[in-house]
Copies of this chain bind each other. A is one copy, B any other.
Amino acid sequence: MKRLGILLSGRGSNFEAIADNVQRGRLTAEIAVVISNRQEARGIVAARARGLPAVVLPSQGIAREEYDRRLVAELEWHRVDLVCLAGFMRLLSADFCRAFPLRVLNIHPSLLPAFPGLNAQRQALEHGAKISGCTVHFVDEQLDAGPIILQAAVPVLDDDTEETLAARILIEEHRIYSEAIALVLSERWRIEGRRVIAK
């Protein structure tokens, strides 16, 4: 059974969707550890409630390289095959990315390369986009820039607020993140340039 490490900083709704899919047998994997950089993250409480190994590694006041070394050690200790970022609000260092080459996934609430960075839903609204969505991608050292595994589109409606748009996108996030994890774990894919192509 392949082992997932989940990194989060907040409520971890994508973590919960992944855990639900594992529990219901829709995603063949096990969650080896959930790590938060914030003590008060709701996702950590949820992980404990599910009986999953939950670790808080506070990041405040620690240099990125040192923090990422601890993170790598923790993930290796739990023999993690694939790292899934689920609202982990930190950039990862080059060393971290090198420790898990093509084994770190992230989900972003826009159709990348449009609207990278913070508040992607607000960016889409303010830009006047009529379609937005979400993207699961491999993580590299650049922000929201690694090869794309899956995307899903949603309409942006005239009366949308940031909240209603975010909620519509979140439904698709919860669906495609597990699909992307399953695809990556299947190893039935290859990379050509930036393209992730299913075999």
Q: Which residues of A contact B (CB under 8 A)?
A: 111-115, 125-131, 133, 135, 147-153, 158, 193-198
Q: Is B147's CB under 8 angstroms from A128's CB?
A: yes
Also in contact, A128 and B158, with CB within 8 A (given A114-B111, A114-B113, A153-B153): no
Cα distance A125–B195 when bound, in Å?
8
28 A-B residue pairs with Cβ-Cβ distance under 8 Å, sorted by A, are A111-B111, A111-B114, A112-B114, A113-B115, A113-B127, A113-B129, A125-B195, A126-B194, A126-B195, A127-B148, A127-B194, A128-B147, A128-B148, A128-B194, A128-B195, A128-B196, A129-B148, A129-B151, A130-B148, A130-B149, A130-B151, A131-B133, A131-B151, A131-B153, A133-B153, A153-B153, A158-B195, A158-B197
Q: CB-CB < 8 A to A198: which residues of B?
A: 158
Cα distance A147–B131 when bound, in Å?
13
Q: CB-CB < 8 A to A131: which residues of B?
A: 111, 133, 151-153
Q: CB-CB < 8 A to A158: which residues of B?
A: 195, 197-198
Query: How many monomers of this chain does the complex have?
Result: 2
Q: CB-CB < 8 A to A147: which residues of B?
A: 128
In the A-B complex, list the 6 residue pairs whose CB atoms are closest, starting with the nearest.
A130-B151, A128-B195, A128-B194, A153-B153, A114-B114, A131-B151
Cα distance A115–B112 when bound, in Å?
10
Contact pick for A128, options B130, B133, B193, CB 8 Å: B193
Q: Closest Cβ of chain B: how far from A165's Cβ, in Å? A: 12
Cα distance A111–B153 when bound, in Å?
11
Cα distance A158–B183 when bound, in Å?
14
Cα distance A2–B151 when bound, in Å?
39
Cα distance A127–B114 when bound, in Å?
12
Q: Closest residue of chain B to A147, judged by CB?
A: B128
Cα distance A149–B156 when bound, in Å?
12
Q: CB-CB < 8 A to A193: which residues of B?
A: 126, 128
